[in-house]
Each structure stands twice: as structure tokens, then as C-alpha cells.
Amino acid sequence: MKKKVLLIYTGGTIGMIKDNVKNTLVPFNFDKLLEASPELKSENISLSNICTKNPIDSSNMTPDHWIEIVSLLNDNYNAYDSFVVLHGTDTMAYTASALSFMLENLQKAVILTGSQIPIGERRTDAKENLITSVEIAASGKINDVCIYFEDKLYRGNRTVKVNTEHFEAFHSPNFPVLAEAGVNIKYKNYLPKATGKLKIHTHISNDVAILKLFPGISIKTIDAIFDSAKGIVIESFGTGNGPTSLEFSQLLDKAIENGKILINITQCLQGSAILGNYATSAPFGKSGIVCGKDITTEAAITKLMFLLGKRLTDQEIKKELQQDLRGEMSN
């Protein structure tokens, strides 16, 4: 029997054409995307497509768009074997991370892909990304939210965008690739399959902020960021280090007393936040500050948005932040 794969088009470079009046790229009709790739036709795969209400440049992505995508996946979950989501590259890692938390007990492939060059251009990378994503989705070997880009399949909530100019736009700094596509597709890392019925989560809170430490950052700036949101992701130095000044320590105390949810992660691309490695990690050893280990910024912020949306108690949120919920952090 043919494998049934549903394409969900959300926008992005992969489906863009040039507006000759404004000289900018704008989304075009999804059907033309399929016309541009006749190679998608297969005897083994039945391909269908739907579109979000308003395809967008992914820089305009919001939690409402994630909810729309999740709702489309849920509505079509029983009718299809797997899914491919076409998405702009700029926020793809955020969306992949968010979907991984919003889709509990996922047992089918949800592959996000896109391109650096529009599908209608001569040197486009769109066709290979799209064709191979569909083949991987139909293989039955993947049951997670993933990103496929330039010959590699990554776990979605372990992925970051690292390049705007090369076709190798993404990297998974702390987790091995799941598959590599050459003459054949070689699956390297099999993920455990979830059990239970699919459960979707559609309450997402944007009451979050990111504090990226840098030498010379003012106490006033830190205080303003702490005051701006309920949940704060702190990107600290190295293995989770920060200023040891009394003022910074007092701000952390104040934030904790005011019921803020703080998660400390490293701003380095690879590696992990580890408490106690250096004396400068002491400020983050306070009771109430969660150590995010090797989680990416994209996964940390979307996990926080997801947990805040569940309307849990502060202690429950902190407990779940420390747990590996969807493979987003190493134990």
C-alpha cells in the first residue's frame, strides 16, 4: 500500500517568488511548488498538501502559528502516515522545538524542511530537501519532530541555525544526526517510539524573555529584563558562569523572591551548563535557578513557553524544566 504523506506549507524561501515591483521575495501558490517538483510523484507514496491560512516569512512566526500547525497535524493525524512541514529557515529551529513539546506521544514523522534558495531558481536546494524529506517521512523509521536540511536529518529540538549563506544552514551541536542522505539514506540513530494516544497542547505563554550576559552589562539592563517576564532564559558564559558581584547576586535573589522562573544555559554553541565547575558558577547555584545543561536556546525558550502555558505551579515548572521531556537535553 502507498504511504500517505501530507505536506503542510507555512511559507518560507522554499515557496517564494520575486515581487518585481517591490523587488522582494513573497510566498506563492502552493500548487506551483508541486508543479516545480515533478520528481515528487512516486508509486510508493501518495502525496497530499494543505496550506496554513496565511503563509508567512518565518521571521513573522508566532505561537499562534504553532498552534495552527499543531491543529492541522492533529486534524489529519489518523488519515496520514507522516507529515512534512515546509517552513522558513530563520525560525525553523524554534518551531521544531515548540512542536516537539506541543505534540505529546507523537508516533509519526513530522519533518520540517525548507531551502536557502527559492524553488524556482536555477541553483535551488529546495528540490533535494523536499524530495528527501518526503522519502524519510514515508520510510516509517522516524517518529519524532525533525529537521531535514542539506543531506542531514536532525532531531528538531536539538537543532540551531548556524549559517545564512551556505546550504549547510543547520547544526545539532550536542546530539548526533539521525540520518544522512547520499546515494542511499543511512539511518544512524533510532529514537525510542512513544506510547499512548497523541495528546496536543495548544496553550503557549509568551511571558518569557532571554538575558544574554556580556562583559559590562549593566545592572539596570538585567533588572529590566528580569522585570519584563515571568520566565527568563539566562545565556551565561562558558559552562554556566556569570558575574560574582554582589549587585548581580542580589538581583537573582530578588527575581527568585518575586516568583520568576530562571533557567541557566550556556551561550556556547557546544557543551553544557555545569554547576560547580568554576567559582563564577556560584551565582547560579542558588535554590530556585534551574540548570539547563546542554539544551539549546531555541528549545529552552519554547519549553518554558510550553510549561508556562500548562498553568502549573512554579515548583512543578521548575521540576519539569530539569527533566528531559522530549529528548531536548542530555540526562
What angle (nearest 5°) sits at the alpha carbon of residue 197, between those of residues 194 and 200?
95
Q: What distance in Å separates the CA atoms of residue 200 and residue 188, rounded to the nearest whole number?
A: 28
3-class DSSP state of 155:
strand
User: 74: which residues sit within 8 A by CB, 6+ positions away?
Assistant: 198, 200
Active-site residue (options: 10, 13, 124, 266): 13
3-class DSSP state of 49:
strand
Written as nine digits, the cell of 176 is 548526533
Q: What distance in Å separates the CA atoms of residue 158 and residue 165, rounded to the nearest whole number?
A: 21
- Strands (DSSP E) contained in the chain are 3-11, 16-19, 24-27, 45-56, 82-86, 103-104, 110-113, 145-149, 152-155, 160-161, 170-171, 179-181, 185-187, 199-200, 208-212, 231-236, 261-266, 289-291
| 164 is known as an active-site residue | no
Q: What distance in Å separates the CA atoms of residue 281 and residue 31, rounded to the nearest whole number?
A: 53
Helix (H) or strand (E) holding 254: helix 246-257
Q: Catalytic positions, please?
A: 13
